[in-house]
A and B are shown apart, each in its own frame.
Chain A
Amino acid sequence: MTDAATLDRDVRLVIAECIRDRGGVPSLAEVASRAAVPQSDAAESFARLAAARVMILRPGTTEILSFNPFAAGPTEFWVRAGGREWSALCAWDAFGVAAALRTDGVVLGHCADVCGVPLEVRLAGDAIGALDGVVMQFALPAREWWKDIVFT
């Protein structure tokens, strides 16, 4: 019988493998299948991984909202990296997609102020290409980020 820590590691690696292999965050069913465990065991592992802030679940479900920095569905931030398109919950995560894939990337978002102007940020090694003056902003202090991580 697999202990919880080993299962959680296996599940984490399966999720990472899905992201690398097919460019997407997997469903609970896919993870259970790939890890060759019952869905109930995978669901318990998902809950532990979410509690440990390894990932975020969709509220009230056992499906992944974001295996940070990789979001599971459409968001306000798109990233082109590694020959694929990705989504992310926030600008930090959008940059993080390219970082986790260890490749260059293009982040597509928009100004969060009323102007809503589209913004593109090109990440290439240490170089960044964007309109002059574009900035990121954290609304909440660091100790409060996980009180409402989706808002953060």
Chain B
Amino acid sequence: MLLFRSEEHAGHWREARGFAGAKTLSLETGWKLARAWYERKLEPDWRRHTVDEAEALFAELGLVGDFWRLR
């Protein structure tokens, strides 16, 4: 996942690189996603999210649609 100065710059990169289906998200959503995904990574009882859990997390953050499906 990359950072872009603006939606316009992200769109230019999408077109230039041939990733028409790429999706942008706000920094706020990205921060929420990172916290939910990684905040337990260094803990002894950490485990990977299941597919169901990951998809539920995406949905909770408004990341819905085919792009965010894991299967």
Contact = CB atoms under 8 A, between A and B. Distances in A.
- Which of A93, A135, A139 has most chain B Cβ within 10 Å? A135
A128 B22 CA distance: 23
B34 A52 contact: no
A98 B34 CA distance: 9
Contacts of A98: 34
A133 B1 contact: no
Interface of A: 9, 12-13, 16, 19-20, 52-54, 67-69, 90-93, 95-102, 109-115, 117, 119, 121, 123, 128, 130-131, 133-143, 152
Contacts of B31: 95, 99, 123, 128
Interface in B52-71: 54, 58, 66-71
Contacts of A52: 48
For chain A, what secondary structure do more than half of its interface residues adopt (helix, strand, loop), or is it mixed? Answer: mixed
Contacts of A69: 34, 38, 41
Given A53-B48, A135-B10, A142 B69 contact: yes
B2 A137 contact: yes
- Which of A68, A93, A111, A113 has most chain B Cβ within 10 Å? A113
Nearest to A69: B38
Contact of B39 (A99, A119, A130, A137): A99
Nearest to B42: A16
